[in-house]
Amino acid sequence: MFKVILTLFFLFQSLHAFLNTDNNYEKQLIALKNFDLPNTFLKDSIFISMKEDVEIYKTKHFLKTLENGDKFIPVLQKMMQEADVPAEFLYLAMTESSFDPYSSSSAKASGIWQFIPATAKRYGLVENTYIDERRDPIKSTEAAIAYLKRLHSMFGKWYLAALAYNCGEGTVSKAIAKAGSDDISVLLDENQKYLPKESRLYIRKILMMSVISNSTGFMLDNDSEYLLNRANNTTFIKVNVKNGTSLKDVSESIGIGSKELKAYNSHLKYTFTPPMGSQSYIYIPQDRQVAFSQNFDHTKEPEKYAIYTTKKGDALHKIAQHYGMSANALMELNHLKQAALKPNTTLVVPFGKAAPVSASENVSRERVYVVKMGDTLQTVAKKYDMSVATLLKANKKQNALVKAGERLVIPKN
């Protein structure tokens, strides 16, 4: 009896493995087709070794990366499908940023799609004191879709669009011209090096991530089968709020922590929406939509905040006094442990009042006297009832010589 059970067990395991392999092979062929790649690409030796490397050595990092995108993938996947862009391009974002919206590069690229400032601006993404839409999952994906469709119209194949996204359309055009072909096996030739090494690995990384992410066997083996059901996971929706709204007020109304809500709103540089204008938006988990509509007070006027960047000579107590608050309150608002300030420190302050004049700006606001023919430093000092030494110091002069047309700063007494 035991032998029969054991035989049936191994038969079931073999059948399960066969079905799994067959199913995963079909998924791989679909991914290849969506990228306009030939089926022979599955035999690419570097691609095979990269896939095995993930399965054997980098499982923990790979699964963590998938979890990073767990909240984004269902929504973004739907956007790409509706735009007729292969959903596998989500793994381009995975390759670029590990689905981390705060990811940045030495080239000043940012967000899950790693837009540099110039490209972001070209595709309508806003970056200012309060927001960076390169980190907005929806708006940056809209921009990525537009960019990828433009690249596809240029080159005619999706794998070429992916390569151009990585190294630029000029580099890909030159590579095709030099190789005399746009065939993937030719362009990725390790001896000819038509493309940079990073780009030669790039399309392999994207395909590898797509294949592994949809591998039932890989997920089951690593107790991560829940990631295969991402389409059923909780996603997020966009809701309108007044400008200057605090994320804390929203998080309390929908029953989640401020930190969790901020994770859905990485485009906000601070914990409040931009203070200018009348309306803004934030993202909330989809399952909190009813709580938001029932509990969030839309009639309440938010206490708006702005950002002040410190300058040389600024003192925290002076800034606090200017904005009508105590130094302790300003420190608490900015989570400061000490009152000492360095230049170019950003402080959250009440919105609607002009920034204080720093010590370094006081000089530029002082009176200026233009020296006339016959003037001496002594006569100018006497005119303004001050000593020659004071004038010398204010103007950083080494001697008392002046000439007609020279501008002298006259400090306040």
Q: Which comes out higher in pLDDT, residue 289 or 324?
A: 289
Fold category of 366-410 in CATH? Membrane-bound Lytic Murein Transglycosylase D; Chain A (3.10.350)
> pLDDT tens digit string along 148-202?
999 999 999 999 999 999 999 999 999 999 999 999 999 999 999 999 999 999 9
Residue 20 confidence (pLDDT) above 60: no
- CATH classification of 234-295, choosing from 3.90.550, 3.30.70, 3.10.350, 1.10.3470? 3.10.350
Span 31-44, average pLDDT: 92
Span 361-380, average pLDDT: 70
pLDDT confidence bin for 37, thresholds 50/70/90: very high
Q: What is the reported pLDDT for 220?
A: 67
Strand partners, 236: 285
DSSP conformation letters of 373-408: TT--HHHHHHHTT--HHHHHHHTT-SSS---TT-EE
Span 102-109, average pLDDT: 93
CATH 1.10.530.10 for the 17-229 domain, yes or no: yes
Residue 45 confidence (pLDDT) above 90: no
Residues of the chain with CATH 3.10.350.10: 305-354, 366-410
| Span 305-354 CATH architecture | Roll (3.10)
Q: What is the reported pLDDT for 358?
A: 57
pLDDT confidence bin for 226, thresholds 50/70/90: low
Distance CA 95, CA 278 (A): 38
> Cα separations (Å) of 160 from 45, 165, 360?
20, 8, 54
Q: Which of 401, 23, 62 is nearest to 227 (CA)?
A: 62
Residues of the chain with CATH 1.10.530.10: 17-229
Q: What is the reported pLDDT for 35?
A: 94
Q: Which residue has the tokens 């993938």?
A: 73
> Cα separations (Å) of 117 from 99, 105, 123, 220, 253?
19, 12, 10, 41, 35
Q: What is the reported pLDDT for 146?
A: 98
Enter the tokens of residue 279.
């309306």
Q: What is the reported pLDDT for 3?
A: 44
Q: What is the mean pLDDT of the chain?
A: 84
CA angle 34, 39, 42 (to 5 degrees): 105
DSSP conformation letters of 190-238: TTT--S-HHHHHHHHHHHHHHHHHT-HHHHHHTT-GGGGGGGGS--EEE
pTM: 0.77
Q: What is the reported pLDDT for 391?
A: 83
- Residues in CB range of 100: below 8 A, 6 or more apart: 68, 112
Distance CA 130, CA 381 (A): 47
Span 314-342, average pLDDT: 90
